[in-house]
Amino acid sequence: MSARALRGLVALATVVLLLSSGLGSTARWSAQALVPTAGATAGQLRLEQEPMTITLTREGSTADVTAGLADQALRPGDVLTYRFPVKPVLQGTGLEASLALDVSQLVVGPLRDVVRDPVVAVETEPQRLLPPTPGPWHLTPELHEKRVTGIVTVTIPTTVDPAIQGQALQAGNVRWTLTQA
């Protein structure tokens, strides 16, 4: 038997094995979702991100450390305030959405366990369009192109492991999520 015939026989056996085995594909080729016609809307739903800022409050004075956070040797009692402004775009008839700010990856590295519970709040311009709670927040067309700023406060505890003192925070990530309601 020639090498070419042997390769062809192996290929045919492989195809037969794959087609006859119970190993199906896990891909979903179609999916169905029923949507009540009263809930279907047309329009635009997105977030326009603006530049963030970070301030460091230490012993009564506050400094902008947005560009140099990695250069700051943090001390017990330091307070970092992150401000993440976005503008929601809600264009459409009856378009409503849920806005959430995930800060679980804000602090990475050795200081992550030290600052486990950042405080999350929100403010709007104009003021009081959303409650100053940790979210998620319900958005209506009233908030179309209004600035929404997520405010995250991280306090370095007054009692920390001496090996951690003086370290800088490593840059992490936050995630805004806007979902049609």
Place of tokens 């311009």: 125
Is 168 in contact with 74 (CB distance < 8 Å)?
yes
More confident residue, 113 or 88: 88
Dihedral angle at the C-alpha atoms of 20, 23, 25, 26, nearest 10 degrees? 160
Place of tokens 């979702």: 33
In sequence order, the 6+-apart residues with CB closer than 8 A to the CB of 113 are none
Q: For 100-149, write each residue's pLDDT tens digit.
A: 999 988 887 777 777 777 899 999 998 889 998 888 999 988 899 999 99
**From residue 64, how far is each of 49, 50, 51, 84, 108 by CA, in Å?**
20, 17, 13, 14, 21
Band of the pLDDT at 18, cuts 50, 70, 90?
low
Q: For 164-173, write each residue's pLDDT tens digit.
A: 777 777 778 8
> What is the DSSP secondary structure assignment for residue 167, as one 8-state letter?
P
